[in-house]
């Protein structure tokens, strides 16, 4: 497979202005496509037309009504070429495709008893011959013909304009007036139940909202429907954007490679992001559903109305849409805690990617398989990049600039540069240096040193920035980094800021400022400080950087108690815990027992004592340890045993320090009254789960009793699964009985069973690999269903450090075996699973060797999907 490069972009030689397609579903599926083709006047004439098309059988081809013979065109494995065409013409092709044997879940495929599509990034070429690139935009008219009883529901984008039936068969025609790239095409055929509601837009138009789900699941769409209405209202209120069709459809699909897909007017969703009710969905499920429904809805403007010129621009739509989703979500109630969760996720997943052989800029320069670039870097880091521009411009100017962008480029396929230039012109801000965030990969590191001159009463900070080398990129330029900060005096009060510096400073309030770091080194002087202040840095996580704080431990304890910014307060606590974990890790490697400061126990026990009063969701975050992956991320050479040991030792130490208070806290947080899904109740339940996690370390027997009772009394899945999660690593009868009971109760509900699978795959036990094999024998398991595979194998690779890194190499072998098996079915899925091996160079010598050997075995197996080939070859390079 050959890479494609961003620098090689050229406009298409031909445009397709309209496509009229008929998809005839029967024993075989026949697709007829009539394309209105126009030569691009900006390109030389006489160029061949090169249509993309894979896995299909061509039946016939007609140009302006005349059948072409084999001498007139050339068919190859990736498409079809016609040597030359008139400036305008109509081309009709008829092909046969095989959705029933499409296990890659790309193009038209079968999920359960329904047929559905996934066309992003390059799936449409599996449906018909086409110019499968986002800068070719056409209006679509789609007729679907099928058997009436098997496929009573036939859907595509836009509005239904005609339908009829004859005998056992029926057909329907959909018309989408908005020209779109083919990656936004969708089609669904099946026997589905419909749940309908109406939304009245700000200008008074009625939009029909329709969810399509398996029969019997009708009552489980309520939350998704409410979320959709909330998202529609939010986009009208905040960005002034109204929905632009008469119907908005969402179909829940059980076999789906990712979360959801924003096809114009017809979203397809992984069913886990639609279906929910109190007994089967957790708080987190509810929140995710709201986020994903919002995300896909927001794409209607950022992605669909204004789309991408080429796939290198993916972040143009994804980062802006994630940013909009995150703003929406924060407005729905959880606020700062939501932000903390995002940062935790960024550090756990994106920072490692940015330090791996797969590191790439937010706007990649090349790819072999585009589907490999739907990454945390493009999505999550990209969203932080948008967030920084939001911080630099300020909310009102940012929203206004986005509105201008959407108006200016409506109906066009554009670039990240078009977006940034519009933000610049609209706001008058200079974003020249800022653009490096799109081109330079790697997480910048800020190193801060401080100095206090008591005689001169001056406090000084020196901030150095460094962007690490990444594959293909060395010696990087300094970036424009927005750093938000404040000072606290010795009583913990915010200080009014007076800053002397060569850097640009934007005051955000009398006690908080935004400093624009643009140089390798920046000095900030704060005059008239009668005593040494404590600085609170990177407030609100104002930039996606790693930060070496100047603080000693007592400063961090102080910030945990006093900082007014919830993010920085949380992060001070995390820094304390991280330093303690790293000291423990060092001790363990030196063969010593880890030891911890008493002050650490005191600070965190004191936090626990505020359990009744404080913001409980924030407190839960404060008490949660930095994860094993994030601890490992700090080390140059990772010894998984030492990391896992350090994590456990720290947890055990804190649990001991909190002691009996944990039981009192658990009792006090016990649910009273019926389940409610509001921010306060979610916060209480999160804190309760965190308390249970410490209790498992402090008093396993007491915890087992609590779990039993909690499981028994629970009227909601959050409490039910909370009981199982707390006891997951404690072998014994209670655990076995609860898991067995759960299975009996929920075995018909695959989404709920995914939670059961996931917990067991992440359990810490010596026989984990045998257990994984058993789980895969369970009747609900199938290698063809990505949700099941992710629940067993995926969860094991990301959340079971001791299991994956077993010193005999059996964890790696297991992953490699299944990666190869799954690759024969679904390359997108296998490529994701293997990513746990790609950072082999960072491990201690023995693991390094074992991991590398498995990667080489995969490479040598041959016949790999382009997805897997790209990941494996880049990580061995
Ligand atoms: N745009 C889709 C992702 C498509 C992934 C293709 N492998 C979902 C989203 O970001 O909204
Ligand atoms: Zn998206």
Give the distance (Å) from ligand 1 centre to CA of residue 329: 19
Q: How confident is the model at residue 588 (pLDDT cuts 50, 70, 90)?
A: very high
Q: Are residues 173 and 37 in the same domain?
A: yes
Q: Whose CA is nearest to atom 1 of ligand 1?
A: 261
Are 618 and 687 within 8 A, CB to CB? no
Give the distance (Å) from ligand 1 centre to CA of residue 260: 7
Which residue has tokens 């100017």?
397
Alpha carbon distance 263, 485 (integer Å): 41
Atom of ligand 1 nearest to the CA of 371: 7
Give the distance (Å) from ligand 1 centre to CA of residue 311: 12
Q: Which CATH number characterizes residue 663's domain? A: 1.25.50.10
Residue 361: predicted pLDDT: 98
Q: Which CATH number characterizes residue 402's domain? A: 1.10.390.10
Site to substitute for ligand 1 among 124, 256, 261, most atoms within 8 A of C-beta: 261
Are 178 and 300 within 8 A, CB to CB? no
Nearest Cα residue to 83 out of 45, 32, 47, 110: 47
Nearest ligand to the CA of 375 is 1
Q: Whose CA is nearest to atom 2 of ligand 1?
A: 261
Residue 162 falls inside a structural domain? yes
For ligand 1, whether the C-beta of 296 sits within 6 Å is: yes
Q: Are residues 577 and 666 in the same domain?
A: yes
Q: How confident is the model at residue 542 (pLDDT cuts 50, 70, 90)?
A: very high
Q: How confident is the model at residue 63 (pLDDT cuts 50, 70, 90)?
A: very high
Q: How confident is the model at residue 276 (pLDDT cuts 50, 70, 90)?
A: very high
Q: Which CATH number characterizes residue 152's domain? A: 2.60.40.1730
CB atoms within 10 A of CB 165: 10
Query: Above 90 in pLDDT, residue 334?
Result: no
The secondary structure of 426-486 as a DSSP string is HH----TGGGHHHH--S--EEEEEEEEETTTTEEEEEEEEE---BTTB-SPPPP-EEEEEE
| Sheet of strand 49-52, all strands in order from the earlier edge strand to the far edge | 49-52, 79-82, 74-76
Q: Are residues 130 and 1 in the same domain?
A: yes
β-strand pairing of 307-308 with 413-414: parallel
Of 382, 417, 439, the last residue of a domain is 439
Residue 762 falls inside a structural domain? yes
Give the distance (Å) from ligand 1 centre to CA of residue 284: 21
Residue 673: predicted pLDDT: 84
Q: Are residues 582 and 693 in the same domain?
A: yes
- Report helix, strand or coil for 556: helix
Q: Residues with catalytic annotation?
A: 296
Packing angle, helices 679-698 and 640-658, rounded to 10: 100
For ligand 1, whether the C-beta of 120 sits within 6 Å is: yes
Q: Are residues 313 and 387 in the same domain?
A: yes
Q: Are residues 434 and 572 in the same domain?
A: no
Atom of ligand 1 nearest to the CA of 322: 10
For ligand 1, whether the C-beta of 270 sits within 6 Å is: no
Total of domains in the chain: 5
- Model pLDDT for residues 619-672, shown as the tens digit of each residue: 999 999 999 999 999 999 999 999 999 999 999 999 999 999 999 999 999 877
Residue 221 falls inside a structural domain? no
- Model pLDDT for residues 314-327, shown as the tens digit of each residue: 999 999 999 999 99
Q: Are residues 36 and 150 in the same domain?
A: yes
Q: How confident is the model at residue 394 (pLDDT cuts 50, 70, 90)?
A: very high
Q: Name the token pair of 816.
A: 């490699």
Nearest Cα residue to 519 out of 548, 460, 479, 476: 479
Q: Are residues 490 and 459 in the same domain?
A: yes
Q: Are residues 529 and 605 in the same domain?
A: no
Query: Above 90 in pLDDT, residue 84?
Result: no
Q: For the CA atoms of 205, 211, 212, 216, what is the dihedral angle to 10 degrees?
A: -140
Of 123, 142, 177, the last residue of a domain is 177
Handedness of CA 189, 192, 193, 198 (dihedral sign): negative
Q: Are residues 379 and 455 in the same domain?
A: no
Percent of all residues in the chain with a pLDDT value above 70, rounded to a whole number = 100
| Domain with 475 in it | 445-549
Residue 378 falls inside a structural domain? yes
Q: CA 841 → CA 29, 524, 544, distances in Å?
A: 47, 38, 24
Q: Whose CA is nearest to atom 7 of ligand 1?
A: 371
Residue 105: predicted pLDDT: 98
Average pLDDT over residues 830-850: 98
Q: Provide the mean pLDDT of the chain.
A: 97
Give the distance (Å) from ligand 2 centre to CA of residue 300: 10
Of 549, 584, 607, the last residue of a domain is 549
Give the distance (Å) from ligand 2 centre to CA of residue 255: 19
For ligand 1, whether the C-beta of 324 sits within 6 Å is: no
Packing angle, helices 283-298 and 679-698, rounded to 10: 130
For ligand 1, whether the C-beta of 370 sits within 6 Å is: no
- Show the DSSP H helices in 465-551 as ranges: none
Residue 515 falls inside a structural domain? yes
Residue 811: predicted pLDDT: 98
Give the distance (Å) from ligand 2 centre to CA of residue 295: 6
Atom of ligand 1 nearest to the CA of 303: 1
Are 359 and 470 within 8 A, CB to CB? yes
Give the distance (Å) from ligand 2 centre to CA of residue 319: 8
Alpha carbon distance 679, 260 (integer Å): 25
Q: Whose CA is nearest to atom 4 of ligand 1?
A: 120
- Model pLDDT for residues 733-772, shown as the tens digit of each residue: 999 999 999 999 999 999 999 999 999 999 999 999 999 9
Nearest ligand to the CA of 317 is 2
Listed residues: CB within 5 A of ion ligand 2: 318, 321
- Report helix, strand or coil for 123: coil
Site to substitute for ligand 1 among 258, 288, 369, 375, most atoms within 8 A of C-beta: 258
Are 57 and 21 within 8 A, CB to CB? no
Q: Name the token pair of 323.
A: 């940013």
Q: Name the token pair of 296.
A: 């896909």
Site to substitute for ligand 1 among 318, 379, 382, 828, most atoms within 8 A of C-beta: 318
Q: How confident is the model at residue 614 (pLDDT cuts 50, 70, 90)?
A: confident
Q: How confident is the model at residue 335 (pLDDT cuts 50, 70, 90)?
A: confident
Residue 129 falls inside a structural domain? yes
For ligand 1, whether the C-beta of 184 sits within 6 Å is: no
Site to substitute for ligand 1 among 180, 186, 262, most atoms within 8 A of C-beta: 262
Query: Above 80 in pLDDT, residue 53?
Result: yes
Q: Which CATH number characterizes residue 523's domain? A: 2.60.40.1840
Tell me, rounded to whole angstroms, the distance of Cα 149 from its chain centroid: 38
- Model pLDDT for residues 666-709, shown as the tens digit of each residue: 999 987 789 999 999 999 999 999 999 999 999 999 999 999 99
Nearest ligand to the CA of 316 is 2
Q: Is the pTM of this model over 0.80?
A: yes
Give the distance (Å) from ligand 2 centre to CA of residue 318: 5
- Model pLDDT for residues 782-802, shown as the tens digit of each residue: 999 999 999 999 999 999 999
Are 605 and 658 within 8 A, CB to CB? yes
Residue 493 falls inside a structural domain? yes
For ligand 1, whether the C-beta of 374 sits within 6 Å is: yes
Residue 716 falls inside a structural domain? no
Q: CA 8 → CA 213, 428, 775, distances in Å?
A: 43, 31, 47
Average pLDDT over residues 711-732: 97
Q: How confident is the model at residue 333 (pLDDT cuts 50, 70, 90)?
A: confident
Q: Are residues 383 and 496 in the same domain?
A: no
Atom of ligand 1 nearest to the CA of 318: 10
Nearest 5°: the CA angle 20, 22, 27 is 165
Atom of ligand 1 nearest to the CA of 370: 7
Nearest ligand to the CA of 183 is 1
Atom of ligand 1 nearest to the CA of 295: 11
Q: CA 820 → CA 369, 806, 824, 831, distances in Å?
A: 17, 20, 7, 10
Nearest ligand to the CA of 262 is 1
Query: Above 90 in pLDDT, residue 441?
Result: yes
Under DSSP, the state recorded for 488 is E
Residue 82: predicted pLDDT: 97
Q: Are residues 62 and 155 in the same domain?
A: yes
Which stretches of 822-863 are assigned E, i.e. beta strand?
none
Nearest Cα residue to 263 out of 304, 310, 209: 304
């Amino acid at each position: 497979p050959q890479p494609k490069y961003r620098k090689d972009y050229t406009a298409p030689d031909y445009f397709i202005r309209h496509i009229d397609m008929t998809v005839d579903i029967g024993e075989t599926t026949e697709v007829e496509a009539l394309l209105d083709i126009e030569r691009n006047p900006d390109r030389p004439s006489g160029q061949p037309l090169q249509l993309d098309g894979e896995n299909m059988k061509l039946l016939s081809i007609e140009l302006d009504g005349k059948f072409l013979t084999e001498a007139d065109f050339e068919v190859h494995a990736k498409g079809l070429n016609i040597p030359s065409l008139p400036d305008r013409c109509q081309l009709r092709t008829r092909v046969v495709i095989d959705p029933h044997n499409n296990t890659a879940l790309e193009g038209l495929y079968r999920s359960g008893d329904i047929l559905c599509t996934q066309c992003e990034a390059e799936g449409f070429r599996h449906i018909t011959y086409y110019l499968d690139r986002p800068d070719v935009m056409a209006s679509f008219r789609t007729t679907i013909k099928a058997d009436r009883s098997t496929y009573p529901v036939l859907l595509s984008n836009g509005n239904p304009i005609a339908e009829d039936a004859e005998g056992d068969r029926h057909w329907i025609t959909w018309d989408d007036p908005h020209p779109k790239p083919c990656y936004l095409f969708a089609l669904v055929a099946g026997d589905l139940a419909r749940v309908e509601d109406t939304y009245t837009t700000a200008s008074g138009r009625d939009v029909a909202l329709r969810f399509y789900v398996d029969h019997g699941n009708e009552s489980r769409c309520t939350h998704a429907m409410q979320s959709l209405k909330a998202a529609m209202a939010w986009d009208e209120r905040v960005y002034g954007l109204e929905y632009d069709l008469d119907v908005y459809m969402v179909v829940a699909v059980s076999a789906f490679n990712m979360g959801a897909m924003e096809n114009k007017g017809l979203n397809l969703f992984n069913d886990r992001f639609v279906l929910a009710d109190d007994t089967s969905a957790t708080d987190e499920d509810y929140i995710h559903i709201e986020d994903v429904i919002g995300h896909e809805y927001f794409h209607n403007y950022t992605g669909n109305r204004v789309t991408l010129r080429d796939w290198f621009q993916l972040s143009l739509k994804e980062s802006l849409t994630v940013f909009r989703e995150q703003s929406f979500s924060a407005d729905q109630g959880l606020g700062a805690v939501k932000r903390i969760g995002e940062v935790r996720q960024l550090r756990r997943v994106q920072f490692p990617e940015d330090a791996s052989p797969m590191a790439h800029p937010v706007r990649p320069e090349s790819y072999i398989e585009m589907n490999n670039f739907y990454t945390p870097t493009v999505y999550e880091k990209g969203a932080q990049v948008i967030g920084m521009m939001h911080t630099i411009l300020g909310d009102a100017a940012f929203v206004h600039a986005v509105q201008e962008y959407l108006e200016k480029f409506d109906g066009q396929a554009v670039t990240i540069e078009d977006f940034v230039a519009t933000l610049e012109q609209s706001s008058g801000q200079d974003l020249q240096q800022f653009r490096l965030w799109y081109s330079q990969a790697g997480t910048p590191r800020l190193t801060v040193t401080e100095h206090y001159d008591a005689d001169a009463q001056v406090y000084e900070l020196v901030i150095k920035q460094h962007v690490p080398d990444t594959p293909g990129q060395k010696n990087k330029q300094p970036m424009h980094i927005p750093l938000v900060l404040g000072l606290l005096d010795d009583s913990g009060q915010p200080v009014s800021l007076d800053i002397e510096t060569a850097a640009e400073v934007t005051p955000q309030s009398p006690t908080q400022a935004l400093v624009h770091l643009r140089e390798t080194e920046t000095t900030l002087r704060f005059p008239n400080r009668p005593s040494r202040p404590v600085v609170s840095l990177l407030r609100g996580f104002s930039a996606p950087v790693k930060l070496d704080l100047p603080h000693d431990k007592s400063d961090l304890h102080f910030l945990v108690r006093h900082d007014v910014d919830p993010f920085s307060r949380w992060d001070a606590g995390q820094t304390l815990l991280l330093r303690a974990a790293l000291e423990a890790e060092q001790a363990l490697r030196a063969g010593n027992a880890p030891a911890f400061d008493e002050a650490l126990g005191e600070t965190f026990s004191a936090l626990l004592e505020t359990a009744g009063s404080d913001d409980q969701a924030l407190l839960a975050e404060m008490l949660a340890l930095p994860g094993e992956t994030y601890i490992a991320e700090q080390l140059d050479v990772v010894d998984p045993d030492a990391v896992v040991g350090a994590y456990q030792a720290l947890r055990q130490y804190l649990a001991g320090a909190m002691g009996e208070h944990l039981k009192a806290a658990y009792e006090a947080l016990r649910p009273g009254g019926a389940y409610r899904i509001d921010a306060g109740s979610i916060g209480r339940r999160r804190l309760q789960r965190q308390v249970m996690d410490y209790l498992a370390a402090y008093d396993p027997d007491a915890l087992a009793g609590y779990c039993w009772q909690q499981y028994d009394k629970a009227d909601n899945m959050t409490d039910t699964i909370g009981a199982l999660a707390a006891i997951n690593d404690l072998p014994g009868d209670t655990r076995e009985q609860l898991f067995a009971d759960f299975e009996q109760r929920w075995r018909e509900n695959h989404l709920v069973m995914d939670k059961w699978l996931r917990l067991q795959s992440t359990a810490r036990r010596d026989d984990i690999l045998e257990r994984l094999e058993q789980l895969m024998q369970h009747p609900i398991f199938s290698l063809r269903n990505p949700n099941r595979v992710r629940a067993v194998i995926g969860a094991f690779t990301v959340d079971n450090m001791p299991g994956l890194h077993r010193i005999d190499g059996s964890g790696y072998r297991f992953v490699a075996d299944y990666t190869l098996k799954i690759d024969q079915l679904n390359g997108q899925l296998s490529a994701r699973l293997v990513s746990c091996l790609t950072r082999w160079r960072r491990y201690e010598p023995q693991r390094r060797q074992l991991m590398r050997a498995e990667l080489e075995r995969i490479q040598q197996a041959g016949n790999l999907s382009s997805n897997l080939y790209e990941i494996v070859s880049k990580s061995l390079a």
